[in-house]
Chain A
Amino acid sequence: MARPLSHRIIGWGGALTVTAILAFLVLPAFVVAVAAFNDDALLSFPPQQLSLRWLVNAMSYGDFQTGLRNSIVVTFAASSIALIVGSTFSFVLDRYQFRAKRVLESLLLAPLVVPHFTAGLGFLFLAAQVGASRGYGVVIACHVVLVLPFVLRSVYISLRNLDRHLELAAASLGAPPSRVLVTVTLPLLLPGLCTGWLFAAILSFNEFSASLFVTAQRTQTLPVAMYNYVREYADPTMAALSVLFIVVTAALLTIANTWLGLGRVLNVEHVR
């Protein structure tokens, strides 16, 4: 069925608007890539001569290397702990009614609205009170709390979509609750758990404002090291590192999308 001309004009106008908005979102990534592989320290467009020197510079800069090591430690610890806390709590949320359920849930979701610098300040004070302000513990604890809402969300959705009949079938065949959990529930939840962990890891690896408050020189994470670099130097070394960040993040999101469907996690699919 041919659509009237006016509808087609609206369609084209819409497509053009959306393309322009998407271009706005991609523009910084594009420009940073140009800056990163341009031999000259000053941005030129189109690039005069391509080079990898900024990338080499970024990889060999001491603070970035230490930062990367610290970030990997913090990210693995924080997202794994957040996965345990988040998935066990989602299970309880999904299956049971209990007192203070709402209070507990809102407390754990609160980091979504509390500014990260305020959370960072709070954890700094807390760590100072128990004399742990210079270690990894406070950084990891802070990251766990901040990424937890995202883990909760993706595991809870998988739990909701899980077919309870399979658990009931296993139970009726005599499997005790722990066996049902390990052999039926956990394998069915695996995509949700992986996506939850991945979300947590991406967010923790990129977390900055709170980390700035809770890290010390020794525990500095990569984003904090990058921030300090930008404040001191203006060469494209940061651009090279940013390109790596952008590529890895987009790739991980694409993986998450194929694993579980980001659309479902973010709740943007059409309900039929």
Chain B
Amino acid sequence: METRHRPFFALFITPAVLSAVVFAASMIAVLQFSMREQIPGSLSVGGLTLDNFTAMLHPIYGRVFLDALWICALTAVVSLILGYPLAYALVHTCNLVLKSAILIITVTPLFLGEVVRTYSWIVVLGSNGFINLLLLKLKLIAEPLQILFTLTGVVIALVHVTLPVVTVMLAAAIAHIDVDYEKAAASLGAGPVRVFLTVTLPLSGPGIVASLSTAFAWTFSAFATPQLVGGGRVNMISNLVYQLGFSNFNFPFAASLSVAGLALTFTSLALLRIALRPLERIGSS
């Protein structure tokens, strides 16, 4: 009887349920592995234990967690500062060709893989790289600057991929602001700066919160960029997880670090939400 009113329901929902089950199973596997003993050199694991989590309290790991948080926060804020003007331009450009060009340039880094993007930044930032070459040629510096293998270098390369995400999310928020509000403010005599500060910016509050959170979460997920641009001197959780898994074959510990990383991401995102609640409220009221 139900099928007559809901054609294809059972058939169409099955693939989705299957995919969801597989994904959930993989996440449960990580959780399950995180509470197991290591059997050296093997992907199978021993009995239940919480040792992996207590081992994580070692200062070495605390340091990596703090570094990761700092890199995520910095990347998110820089992306927001650069992304806002870009998003504003994207929405307010009337010329269609120009608009498409801005859109394509903005989103291409998002679809380029991490490896290509990271490699490109190595060529730009390296001591024989483009920036140093240019600065040396212009006689602005005498010695090549050390940008590769530093936190600054890692953040620059990371912003390159979070910037498109942030821009697209902000553009969506700005595009959904009713143009009439801006026009009303302008017709009452407000200059463009005033219209922007008192109407557009506050109304895009929810978009700002959403894009900051996403940039934060995405940065946390980065692997190749901290690995290659950081060159072992700037490590994030992902790098530790890989090293523990594939160099030390300690998969249970790798799993527990991933779980802790997930917990840390979600906690920071929740805290960010709470801290930015006033901003979100202005926009939605």
Decide yes or no whether A183 CB sits under 8 A from chain B: no
By CB atoms of chain B within 10 A, which of A111, A249, A262, A268 has the most?
A268
Q: Contacts A108-B23, A128-B43: A246 and B123 contacting too (C-beta < 8 A)? A: no
A118, A141, A212: the one contacting B258 at CB < 8 Å is A118
B262 contacts partner chain A, Cβ-Cβ < 8 Å: yes
The answer on a CB contact under 8 Å between A270 and B27 is: no
Most buried by B among A108, A115, A148: A115
**Segment at the interface with A among B49-57, B58-66, B110-118, B198-206:** B110-118
**Contact call B175/A28, Cβ cutoff below 8 A:** no
**Chain B, Cβ-Cβ closest to A84:** B15
Separation of A95 and B7 alpha carbons in the complex (Å): 10
The CA of A17 and the CA of B128, in the complex, are separated in Å by: 28
Which listed segment binds B: A42-50, A51-59, A158-166? A42-50
Interface presence of B272 (CB below 8 A) = no
| A76 interface hit (Cβ, 8 Å) | no
| Across-interface contacts of A110 in B (CB, < 8 A) | 23
Residue pair A115, B119 in contact (C-beta under 8 Å): no
Q: State whether the Cβ of A66 lies closer than 8 Å to any Cβ in chain B.
A: no
Report B266 CB to chain A, min CB distance, Å. 8
Specify which chain B residues have a CB less than 8 angstroms from the CB of A32 in the assembled complex: 119-120, 123
Residues from chain A with a CB closer than 8 A to the CB of B82 are: 21, 24
Q: How far is the CB of B245 from chain A (nearest CB, A)?
A: 7
State whether the Cβ of B149 lies closer than 8 Å to any Cβ in chain A.
no
Chain B interface residue bracket vs A: 35 or more
Closest to A226 in B: B115
Whether A1 sits at the interface, judged by CB under 8 Å, is no
**A2 in the interface (beta carbon within 8 A):** no
B13 with A92: CB separation less than 8 A: yes
**Least distance between A91 CB and chain B CB atoms (Å):** 5
Which B224-279 residues have a C-beta within 8 angstroms of A?
A: 224, 228, 238, 241-242, 245, 251, 254-255, 258, 261-262, 265
Of residues 81 through 136 on chain B, the ones whose CB sits less than 8 Å from some CB of chain A are 82, 85-91, 99-100, 102-109, 111-124, 128-130, 133-134
B163 is an interface residue with CB less than 8 A from chain A: yes
Q: For the complex, what is the distance from the CA of A70 to the CA of B88, rounded to whole Å? A: 41
Query: CB-CB contacts of A10-32 with B at 8 A, as 1s and 0s?
Result: 10001101100110111111011
| Distance of A104 Cα from B116 Cα, bound (Å) | 34
Find out whether the CB atom of B15 lies under 8 angstroms from the CB atom of A88.
yes
| Contact present for B8 and A26 (CB under 8 Å) | no
**Neighbouring B residues of A203 by C-beta, 8 Å:** 111
Min CB gap A271→B, angstroms: 5
- CA of A242 to CA of B120, assembled, Å: 8
**B265 neighbours in A (Cβ, 8 Å):** 113, 115
A239 lies within 8 A of B22 (CB) = no
Q: How far is the CB of B11 from chain A (nearest CB, A)?
A: 7
Q: Could you say which residues of chain A place their CB within 8 Å of the CB of B223?
A: 116-117, 208-209, 212
B6 at the interface (CB under 8 A from A): yes
The smallest beta-carbon distance between B202 and chain A, in angstroms, is 18
**B87 cross-chain contacts in A, Cβ below 8 A:** 268
Q: Is the CB of A88 within 8 A of B43?
A: no
Q: Classify the interface of chain A: helix, strand, loop or mixed.
A: helix
Q: CB distance A208 to B255 under 8 Å? A: no
Given the known A-B contacts A43-B129, A145-B23, A230-B228, are A246 and B108 also in contact in the complex, defined by CB atoms under 8 Å? Answer: yes
Q: Which of A14, A28, A118, A129 contacts B89 (CB 8 A)?
A: A14
Of the candidates B22, B168, B255, which one forms a contact with A268 in the assembled complex, judged by CB atoms under 8 Å apart?
B168
The answer for the CA separation of A118 and B237 in the assembled complex, in Å, is: 10
- Cα A104 to Cα B258 with chains together (Å): 23
How far is the CB of A208 from the nearest CB of chain B, in Å? 5
B8 A118 Cβ-Cβ under 8 A:
no
Q: Does B151 contact A (CB under 8 A)?
A: no
Q: In the assembled complex, which residues on chain B have CB atoms less than 8 Å from the CB atom of A213?
A: 242, 245
- Cα A167 to Cα B133 in complex, Å, equals 62
Within 8 A of B (CB), among A105-128: 107-108, 110-111, 113-119, 121-126, 128
Within 8 A of A (CB), among B140-180: 160, 163-164, 168, 171-172, 175-176, 178-179
By beta carbon, the residue of chain B nearest A227 is B115
Contact of B85 among A14, A116, A142, A254 (CB under 8 A): A14
Whether, in the assembled complex, B193 has its beta carbon less than 8 Å from a beta carbon of chain A, the answer is: yes
Contact A226 B119, CB 8 Å, known A88-B13, A126-B25: yes
B24 cross-chain contacts in A, Cβ below 8 A: 107
Given contacts A212-B242, A246-B116, contact A25 B160 (CB under 8 A): yes
The answer to whether B16 has its CB under 8 Å from any CB of chain A is yes
| A 221-252 to B, binary, CB cutoff 8 A, 1 in contact else 0 | 00100110011000000110110011001100
Contact in complex: A115, B238 (CB < 8 Å): yes
A-B contact pairs, 20 of them (CB 8 A): A18-B89, A24-B160, A28-B117, A29-B108, A88-B12, A89-B15, A115-B221, A117-B223, A117-B241, A125-B26, A125-B43, A125-B255, A203-B111, A205-B113, A206-B111, A206-B114, A223-B115, A231-B228, A250-B108, A263-B99
